[in-house]
C-alpha cells in the first residue's frame, strides 16, 4: 500500500547514520532507497512510498519508508 507524507528530511547519527523523514504529524520514518536529491538536511518534502515491514535497519529510528517519488516543498 502506497502512502504520501509531508515533512522534513533529517540526518540521524544513530548507528552508522541514517536519513529520516519527520512528518508534520510527528511520525518519524527512516527513508530507504532514497535518491541523493532527496537527502538534504532540513528540506521540506512530500514523499510517496511504501512502508517496508520486511526490512530491518541498524538505526531503527522508525518504520522504513521506501521512497517511490518525492517533491520539494517551498519553505
pLDDT of residue 56: 87
CB 32 within 8 A of CB 67: yes
pTM score: 0.89
pLDDT of residue 26 exceeding 70, the answer is yes
Q: What is the CATH number of the domain that holds 11?
A: 2.40.50.140
pLDDT of residue 75: 65
Residue 21 belongs to domain spanning:
2-72
Banded pLDDT at 58 (limits 50, 70, 90): confident
> How far is CA 51 from each of CA 8, 39, 44, 71, 75, rounded to the nearest angstrom?
17, 18, 20, 18, 26
pLDDT of residue 15 exceeding 90, the answer is no
The Cα 53–Cα 72 span in angstroms is 26
pLDDT of residue 67: 97
Q: Count of domains in the chain?
A: 1
Give 32 or 16, the one with higher predicted confidence. 32
Amino acid at each position: 500500500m502506497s502512502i504520501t507524507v509531508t515533512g522534513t528530511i533529517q540526518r540521524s547519527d544513530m548507528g552508522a547514520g541514517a536519513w529520516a523523514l519527520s512528518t508534520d504529524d510527528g511520525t518519524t520514518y527512516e527513508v530507504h532507497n532514497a535518491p541523493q536529491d532527496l537527502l538534504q538536511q532540513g528540506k521540506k518534502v512530500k514523499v510517496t512510498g511504501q512502508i517496508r515491514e520486511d526490512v530491518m535497519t541498524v538505526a531503527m529510528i522508525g518504520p522504513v519508508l521506501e521512497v517511490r517519488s518525492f517533491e520539494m516543498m517551498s519553505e
